[in-house]
Structure formats: C-alpha cells, structure tokens
Structure 1
Amino acid sequence: MRKILLMAVASICLATSAFAQTVKPFKEGDRAVFLGNSITDGGHYHSFIWLYYMTRFPDMHIRVFNGGIGGDTAYDMNKRLDGDIFSMNPTVLMVTFGMNDSGYFEYNGDNAKEFGEQKYQESIKNFQQMEKRFKELPSTRMVMLGTSPYDETAKIKDNTVFKKKNETIKRIVEYQKESAAKNGWEFTDLNAPMVALNQQFQQKDSTFTLCGNDRIHPDNDGHMVMAYLFLKAQGFSGKNVADVEINANKKEAIKSENCTISNIKKIGKDISFDYLAESLPYPLDTIARGWGSKKSQADVVKVVPFMEEMNSEILKVTGLKGQYRLLIDDEEIGTWNAADLEKGINLAAESKTPQYQQALAIMHLNEYRWELERTFREYAWCQFGFFQQQGLLFANNRKAIEVMDENVDKNMWLKGRRDMYSKMIYESVRDARQQEMDVLVSKIYEINKPIIRKVVLRKI
C-alpha cells in the first residue's frame, strides 16, 4: 500500500515539476493585486495565497487584493485600469485573462477554426492596449499569469464541450509569456499543469475536474491547486513550517529548523521541551465554501503534494521505546510508537495542536475578510459592467438607481446586484465595510505570532 501511495505522489509531482521559481516572493509592504475575470472575482486562490503569507511570515505585512470582475475580457479590464486596479496602488500586479476572450458556443459551429483565430486576434489586440499602460508603471512589478484551463476532457453530465476552446486559451497564454519575456516581466502558467492534473486523474475517474461542473470555474480544491502552483512558482516548495529532531537519550536538539528548542528535560518516562516556531502550519478549510461549491480547500491533498512540499512541521524523536502520548500545552494530540517518532510525524497534519488551532482562527478571519471584499467586487461590477456604458460611472445618485431599475428585468446579473448596490451607493457604507476589513487584517497580524509551546511525550 505504501509503495502505491509513493508512486501516486511521484506521479503528482511529475505533473507539477515544471514549476521552477519564476515569480519573486512578495516582500514587506507589498500590495499584490490579482487582475482577472470571474475566476478571480468569485474565487479563493488569491485569498489562499495570502493565508500562506499570513501563517508562514507572521511579521511580514502585505496586502493582497481581488481585482476580478465576472465576464471580463482584456478589453473590459483595460477600461477599468484607472478607476479600479490602479487605484489599489499595486506594487505587484498579476494579470490573467483568456477564458472569456476565447469565446464559447461557436466552437461547436461550422467555422470553429476561424472563430478561434478571430477570438485570439481580438484578445491580443485588446491585451496590447493594456500592455502599453503597464509599461507606464515603473514602480510596479508585473506578473503575467496564464489562466486556469477550460476542461475539455472531463465527462460532465448535461455539459456540452466547447471543443478546442482551451487551444485558443493556450495560445493567449503563450502570448502572455512572450510579452513577459519582451518587457522583462515575470510569468507563470496555471493552464498546462492543471490540464496535466485533470487528465491524470481522469484516467481513473472520467468525471474528475479541477475546473468545476461548468468546466470553467474551479471549485475550492481547484483554487487551492492554483494557489499551490503560484506559491511553487515563488519558490516555496520544500520550505518547512519547522523541522525538529530530538535525541531523547542525550537530551539534545539535533535539528531545529525555523524554530527554537529549549529546556529539554527527561523526567521519569516523560521527555519534554519548549518549542517556539517561526511560523504557523497552514490551515486547510474542510468546508465547501462559496456559491455552488461541492469540494473543500482540504481536498487539495488528494491532488497535489501540498502537505509534503509546503506544509511540513516535522517532529522527530530518537532513542525512545514503546508507545507515547503527545501533549502540547497539556492538550493531547495523539499516540505514536517509538518507530513512528523516529521516522518523524508531521504536526501540520494534526488539527488538534494549539498552533493549528491558532492558524484556524486566522483562516476564519481571512474568510470573513474575503466575504466583505466580494461585496466591493460586486459593486465594481455594477460600475464597470453597467454604469460605465451608461455614462454614470461612480455617479451613485438617484439617476443611477433609476437607470438600473429600468434595466433589471432585462439583465439577470444586474437584478441580482440591485439590493447590494442600494447599500453600497452610500460612501458611509463603503467606508464602514472598508474599516471592517482593515480591522480584520489588523487582528490577523495581531494573533498570527507563534508562541512558546510546551511539548511532552509521555510513555504509555
């Protein structure tokens, strides 16, 4: 069984092995903005990336912003750069597009090849307009981010495949890569590795997809794969939460990577020590969050070796015999035998540890922040997806409401946002929600500092 598991992990690693470091890690004070469409707008990948920084670098204050709007193409994004994206004052700007640019139904028509070529040319023409604007941002790091794929290979009931759509998307991603090389920008691709993972798992389950039931919008596991691939591109593969090795007989810390071990004692059959890590384990949400979601963030461990590569908090103790109960701050975590402890156990996989519980509070605060930020993206959709075309961009007055009401019955997307806009039209409401988000971020950076933990191994 272990051999089969190792082979599976090796196979998964092969699917994502092309990710050498191509994107610089964020640094203190960075304002990282993810410009995109509905996959970014309603998605979690950017929030999951920030959660990694919140837990792994507790003293590094950064901000990560959702800059997505549903339905956007490069043309739409270009129109809102000044009023939306640039107003966030990005120090790092991630740019992803292509899903809507590449078109949909016509791929199953009589002129699919010509349609694909037309959409590609339109997309590149629109992106080139953005490219000119990006060159005017000398103090902003640019990162071209190849979009997640349209899944053409999954067997999904009542969902007709748009054949060759992802081929057009891949051409758009390749152009992004060329643009990055030409302009000295950074680049990483989500499309190819996610296609490889989809096809790999579809060999056993033809209905498997990271791209959601519509083949477009990833579920929580897909968004965590996107976060994992981005973090991998930033060079975080192999970076441990902590790595501890204790020689019980000598009462010595043989290894203490990314942590401090002190006060090692052996009293009777107990061995104890103080443990101060420099970071927290990454908490994986087990709830399927978001509209229409069926999978949780934690389901990512079935797809990529996130735990092995990026969430390793190893405790290894040699010189023991028999069974031992592990307690941290008097909380019983579990029972292991001496052989398991000599090999090493991953504390990051144990949700009962006090440090994991500390990280869970951060995760929930970050999710609450994400929910509030989504209301601002819905507000942005109203402004740039509707009012801009009406000549009422940021009018936020009675005239805007009247024009909206004249159109709600003809536009279901507008109708669904009518109640939200009736609140967000007021500056005081927007200010209050922004202040609430700021409080949440402040609280996160207040409680994300690791503290000294008392670790005890008690022989049974």
Structure 2
Amino acid sequence: MKKIFVLIAAVCMTYTTAFAQTVKPFKEGERAVFLGNSITDGGHYHSYIWLYYMTRFPNMPLRILNGGIGGDTAYDMNKRLDGDIFPMKPSVLMVTFGMNDSGYFEYNGDNPKEFGEQKYQESIKNYQQMEKRFKDLPDTRIVMVGTSPYDETVQLKENVPFKTKNETIKRIVEYQKESAAKNNWEFTDLNAPMVALNQQNQQKDPAFTLCGSDRIHPDNDGHMVMAYLFLKAQGFVGKEVAEMEINANKKQAVKAENCTISNIKKNGKDLSFDYLAEALPYPLDTIARGWGQKKGQAEATKVIPFMDEMNREVLKVTGLKGDYKLLIDEEEIGIWSGDDLAKGINLAAESKTPQYQQALTVMHLNEYRWEIERTFREYAWCQFGFFQQQGLLFANDRKAIEIMDENVDKNVWLKGRRDMYSKMMLDPVREAREQEMEVLINKIYEVNKPVVRKILLRKI
C-alpha cells in the first residue's frame, strides 16, 4: 500500500507542477462563477471546491456559482454571457470549453486530421469573440481553465473512442494558455494531469478512467480530482486543517497551528485538554450523487494524495507509553499506541470525530444547495438551448409552452425538461428556490464554525 501511495504522489507531483500556474485564492465576499458545458453544468467539481472553502475558512463567506450548460461550445457560451453569466455578477470568472468545440464522430471518418483542424479553427474564432467581451470587464478576474480530457485510452465495451479528439482539445487548451498570458489573466490546466493519472492507472486496470463511462463526463471521483487540481493551483497544498503537538510529561502544547490548545491536565496516566480549531476537516462523500453517477467522491483518494496534502488534522502527543483510547466529547474514536501518537495521527481520516460529523452536516447542506442550483441550470438550458433560437428568450408565457410542446417529440433533451420548465417558468417558483438556496447557504455559515472539543487520552 505504501508503494502505491508513493507512486500516486510521484505521478501527481510530475504532472501537476508542469501545468500549475498561480491562481489566486478566492476572497471573502467574492462571487466565483464557473462558465462551462455539461461537465460544469451537471458536475460537482465547483461544489467540492466551495465545500473546501466552507470547511477550511468557516468565517469567510463567499459564493461559487455554476455557469454551465450541457452541449455548449464557445459560440454558445458567448451568446449567453449577457443573459446568464454577467447577471451573476462574477468577481472571478473561470472559463472552460473545448469538449464540444472539438467535435466527435468525424474523428473516426476519412479525414480526421482535417476535421480536427476545422474544429480547432472554429473554436478559436468563437472564443475570440468571448475574449473581446472579457477585456471589457475591469472588475472581473478571468481564469482560463483547460478542460478535463476526453479519454481515448480507456478500454470500454461498446464504446469506440474518437481517436485524436483529445489532441484537438489540447491545442484549444494551449490557446487558452496563450490568451491568458497575453491578457495578464490566470490559467490552470486539468487536461494534462488527468490524462497522466488515467494512463498511469490504466497500466494496472485498462478499464480505469476519471472521465466516466462515456469518456467525457467525469464521475464524482473525477470531479474531486478536478477540485483537487484547482485547489492545488490556488496554493493549498500543505495547508493543515490544524496541527497540535503536546508534551504529555510537561503538560505543554509544543505546537498549535490553526488551533488553540488549553486546559491540559494529567489525571494518573490519562491526559486531557481542550481543542479549538480554526477549520473543520474536509468531509468526503462515499455515496454516488447525481444522475448516472456510479462512484462516490471519496474514491478519488485512491489516485490523488488529497488527504496527505490538503486534509490533515494532526494530533501528536509525546511522552506516552502503552495503548490509549482516544475520546472526543466523550465519543470513542479509536485506540492508538504511544508510539503512534508520538508520530502523529490524522484526525481528518477519522469519520467518528465530532468535528468530522459537523463537517458532514455542511457537506449535506451543500449537496442540497447543489441540487436546487441544478434546476436553475436546467431552466437556463431551456432558455439558451431552445427558446433563444425561437426568439422567445425569457418569454415564459403560454406561447413558449406551446412552441415547446410542438418540439418535444423531436428533441429528447427538451422532452426531459418539459415538466421542470413548466414550474421554473413561474417567477414565484424561481424566487422561492432562490430563497431556499440562501437559507441553506446561511445555515452552512452558521453550523460550520468550529467549537471547543474536549479531548481525552485514556490509558488502557
């Protein structure tokens, strides 16, 4: 197991340092919008990033918003900037595209090279229109994000890959990087490090992929990898949840990083103290959330060193001999030897701790918020993926419903959204859902505050 972990860490170090440009961390009160396609629209990576901020910076409220729409190219994104993205009032705008821009089936046709060149040129031409708009946003920080890859190398039954599609995507990402440098914007790439992780793990399991069963849409583990890579670009590697070191013999706190240690007592061979952290551990969901998802977020830790790099709540106690039972707020967490405690244990890996359970509350509230936000993205798809072309953008009236009904049997995507739209077209429904999200966000920033924990090491 140790050899596998070292290999994972080596792969991540090799391929993430190469792509990582500095992306400034978000600040209190900022509105960070992720503009993208279906990977952003239906995915969790931006929600996982926000969960990191919710737990790591509990006193720094901000907003991270989903600006994705399924099927979008740079051309489509440009058409909805005014009606969809700019009304979100982004102080930071993450821009990712390329999956749909690069095309699909023709890569397995007679002229894949010519097709790839054509799609590349189209994508760049469309992006340049957006680039002009972004230059006119003096109060918005722009971050170019190279898209997650199309996985050509995974071996999937009944799914023939579009060979060289990701090569076209990589060219688009490179143009994004050049655009960022030219305009003094920020840039980070998800494509290259995810390709590297895919290929490394496919040596052991040819069916492994972070890009989902269709080679395109990452499952929850892939989205957590995306979140990890973005947070890594923001400089959060090595930032501890908390780190405490106590000398049991002297009853002294040798180290208290991002936390406060007080009231250290020895009662016979037992040791107790009060612990107030400034952050919560990051909770990793084990359930497959979202339509068609098969994996939980936590599975990402099999391929990235997230726990070691970004989720350490270290308890280190020297001067103890024998085995000790650890209790936090009278809840039994586990048993460790004095040697283990002297080396340090990572409490963030222990889901029984009261602080981890507190973090799980934040996670579930955030997931509930994500589910509601998704209905707004489905509503946006109806507006910009259908009604805009009909000259009925935001009409939300009887005529809009009639036009929709005339087309549902010809458009399976429209048909699947008919019931949702019939509700979301009503102003009071949208207003109520917006208020519900605000209630959830306010509740998150109410319950995410760390509290004093009573820690007891009881000699067995």
Q: Shorter-chain TM-score: what band?
A: over 0.9
Write the letter of the residue equivalent to 2:123: S
| Contact 1:13–1:305 (8 Å) recurs in 2 | no
Gaps of 5+ in 2: none
Residue 277 (structure 1) aligns with: 277
Write the letter of the residue equivalent to 1:403: I
Question: How many Å separate the matches in 1 of 2:19 and 2:335?
Answer: 37
Residue 159 (structure 1) aligns with: 159
Residue 406 (structure 1) aligns with: 406
Pairs within 5 Å for 1:1-400: 2-3=2-3, 5-18=5-18, 20=20, 22-400=22-400
| Contact 1:19–1:232 (8 Å) recurs in 2 | no
Deviations 1:49-98 (A, max 9, x none): 00000000001110000000000000000000000000000000000000
Distance 1:451-1:117 versus aligned 2 partners, 3 A rule: same
Mean alpha-carbon deviation: is it higher for 287-296 or for 87-96?
287-296
Residue 436 (structure 1) aligns with: 436
Write the letter of the residue equivalent to 1:241: V
Deviations 1:165-195 (A, max 9, x none): 0000000000000000000100000000000
| Contact 1:21–1:232 (8 Å) recurs in 2 | no
1:292 is displaced (CA, Å) by 1.1
| Contact 2:19–2:192 (8 Å) recurs in 1 | no
Question: How many Å separate the matches in 2 of 1:8 and 1:297?
Answer: 17
Question: How many Å separate the matches in 2 of 1:21 and 1:123?
Answer: 23
1:10 is displaced (CA, Å) by 3.1
| Contact 1:19–1:229 (8 Å) recurs in 2 | no
Question: How many Å separate the matches in 1 of 2:261 and 2:278?
Answer: 11
Write the letter of the residue equivalent to 2:117: E
1:291 is displaced (CA, Å) by 1.1
Deviations 1:348-392 (A, max 9, x none): 000000000000000000000000000000000000000000000
Question: How many Å separate the matches in 1 of 2:428 and 2:115?
Answer: 47
| Contact 1:150–1:166 (8 Å) recurs in 2 | yes
Question: How many Å separate the matches in 2 of 1:348 and 1:289?
Answer: 22
Question: How many Å separate the matches in 1 of 2:20 and 2:141?
Answer: 19
Say which SS state the counterpart of residue 254 (structure 2) adopts: strand
Say which SS state the counterpart of residue 93 (structure 2) adopts: strand
Q: How many residues align?
A: 460
Question: How many Å separate the matches in 2 of 1:11 and 1:74?
Answer: 31
| Contact 1:36–1:68 (8 Å) recurs in 2 | yes
Write the letter of the residue equivalent to 2:6: L
| Contact 2:34–2:40 (8 Å) recurs in 1 | yes
Question: How many Å separate the matches in 2 of 1:20 and 1:103?
Answer: 27
Question: How many Å separate the matches in 2 of 1:5 and 1:223?
Answer: 20
Distance 1:97-1:282 versus aligned 2 partners, 3 A rule: same
Q: Over aligned residues, Cα RMSD in angstroms?
A: 0.9
Say which SS state the counterpart of residue 208 (structure 2) adopts: coil
1:21 is displaced (CA, Å) by 5.2
Say which SS state the counterpart of residue 389 (structure 2) adopts: helix
| Contact 1:219–1:294 (8 Å) recurs in 2 | yes
Write the letter of the residue equivalent to 1:257: E
**Identity of paired residues, percent?**
81
Gaps of 5+ in 1: none
Deviations 1:281-329 (A, max 9, x none): 0000000111111111000110100000000000000000000000000
Question: How many Å separate the matches in 2 of 1:279 and 1:444?
Answer: 14
Write the letter of the residue equivalent to 1:320: L
Question: How many Å separate the matches in 2 of 1:8 and 1:115?
Answer: 36
| Contact 1:242–1:257 (8 Å) recurs in 2 | yes
Q: TM-score, normalised by structure 1?
A: 0.99
1:3 is displaced (CA, Å) by 4.5
Deviations 1:206-227 (A, max 9, x none): 0000000100000000000000
Question: How many Å separate the matches in 2 of 1:52 and 1:413?
Answer: 33
Structure 1: which 4+ aligned runs deviate by more than 4 Å?
none
Question: How many Å separate the matches in 2 of 1:92 and 1:5?
Answer: 35
1:2 is displaced (CA, Å) by 3.5
